[in-house]
Amino acid sequence: MPVDALEWDVSHRAKRQTDVTKYDPATDEITISLTWDTYDSHGWEQFSSTVRHELIHAWQYHEVNEADHGQTFTRWTDALDTTQLL
């Protein structure tokens, strides 16, 4: 997946929402939104796993226009050293 196909957003205010990958089918824009609270609360190791988790979802949107935790997701979790659920 081309790196320039991704947008990144970091929230310093979000407290209840966790990190998420958003897809706009009208524009094909994919945005990975991360929260500072995730990094601050869990540290780099967990945060980097979260980033890899969200990158799988971004790849799913790029390749199949939808994302879930099904087969296309789980085939990448070991290779990217992340988990299905965070």
Q: Within a domain: residue 42?
A: yes
Number of domains in the chain: 1
For 8-46, write each residue's pLDDT tens digit.
998 877 666 678 999 999 999 999 999 888 888 888 998
Q: Within a domain: residue 82?
A: no
Are 34 and 51 a contacting pair, CB within 8 Å?
Answer: yes
Residue 45: give its domain's CATH number: 3.30.2010.10
For 51-75, write each residue's pLDDT tens digit.
999 999 999 999 999 999 999 999 9
Interior CA angle at 46 toward 40 and 50, to 5°? 100
With 0.85 as the threshold, say if the pTM is over it. Answer: yes
User: Which H or E run contains 59?
Assistant: helix 36-64
Q: Within a domain: residue 84?
A: no
Q: Within a domain: residue 70?
A: yes
Boundaries of domain holding 25: 3-77
Q: Within a domain: residue 56?
A: yes
Beta-carbon contacts of 21 under 8 Å, excluding residues fewer than 6 positions away, are 30, 31, 32, 33, 54, 57, 58, 61, 67
Q: Within a domain: residue 85?
A: no
Q: Within a domain: residue 86?
A: no
Q: Within a domain: residue 63?
A: yes
- Quote the pLDDT of residue 13: 75
